[in-house]
Amino acid sequence: MEKVLSNPLKDALKRGKPQYGCWLNSTTPMMAEIAATCGYDWLLYDGEHGPNDTQSLFHQLQAADGYNSHAVCRIPENHDATFKLVLDMGFKTIMVPLVDNKAKAEAAVRAMTYPPVGVRGVGALVGRATRWNSVADYARKVQDTLCLVAQIETVEAVNNLDEIASVPGVDVMFIGPADLATSMGFYGDFNRPEVLEAIESTIKRIVKLGKVAGAFTMGDLSRQCLDWGALFVSVASDLLVYKQGLSDRLARFNPKAKVEY
Ligand code: 3PY
Ligand code: MG
């Protein structure tokens, strides 16, 4: 079980240790707990592209507590009220989609920080983050244990990379290849050479700027991103592994089985 006022993922990244993650879109506590038994450094609960709501995020977080995989929450948008909800639940690492410029990065940092610096509302004493008022001094001590992962996934964000990296409180800059490819005009196709070149050069620039680089990857791209200097890399997706595993199993016995759409 992870201590309330600690963030082993952030600590490991500071030490330059690669952290391998799994993307979870299945939205159920049982699937989250199964994933937590596999030894990933982090599990991402996807509030942007999965049918998650506040309750499902909360119950997955509870189910997978007690294992060693750090919980990361991707929120649906860069919105103050959403940060507040998931931070009060006890998520400490928050991924924010579409951080395209400095103003959006600063807004995310403010949403994760208590006044007078930021705008996070004070209510964690009735939340799981403080184990319901069991952790004294939470508000004063929590900030260093929070980790902000800003998604770099548009041409605009790549163009504004230096400015975004200059914002204190942005801990990780994380490439979303699908949105980046689409923003470059190649609808979702992140295997195109132009997109792979953009991913490589962006990771290398992030590292040069002194920030931790990350990327959503699968298969060969995971290895390449690690070789290019990324430390925070997703290497699996629960739903894609599930579907592939079920299809492969059936194909051994009935290679012709398929469903028409
Ligand atoms: C993307 O590829 O756009 C992501 O955000 C990763 O899911
Ligand atoms: Mg994306």
Is 79 domain-assigned?
A: yes
Provide the whole-model pTM.
0.97
In tens, the pLDDT along 114-169 reads: 999 999 999 999 999 999 999 999 999 999 999 999 999 999 999 999 999 999 99
Residue 184 Cβ contacting ligand 1 at under 6 Å? no
Q: At how many degrees (to 10) do helices 80-89 and 102-111 cross?
A: 40
Q: Containing domain of residue 118, as a range?
A: 8-149+218-248
Distance 63 CA to ligand 1 centre (A): 25
**pLDDT given at position 5:** 96
8 Å CB contact between 165 and 173 = yes
Does residue 71 form part of some domain? yes
Element (H, E) at 162: helix 161-165
Quickly tell me which residue has 């931070």 as its tokens: 87
pLDDT of residue 134: 97
* Position 109 in a domain: yes
Closest to 147 measured CA to CA, from 66, 101, 212, 194: 212
Q: Please give the Cα distance from 218 to 203 (Å, whole number).
A: 16
Spacing, Cα 55 to ligand 1 middle (Å): 23
What values do phi and psi take at 160, rounded to 5?
A: -100, 20
Q: Which residues contact 187 (CB under 8 A, 6 or more apart)?
A: 181
- Is residue 213 situated within a structural domain? no
Is residue 261 over pLDDT 90?
A: yes
Q: Is the peptide bond before 116 cis (omega within 30 degrees of 0)?
A: yes
Query: What is the set of active-site residues?
Result: 49
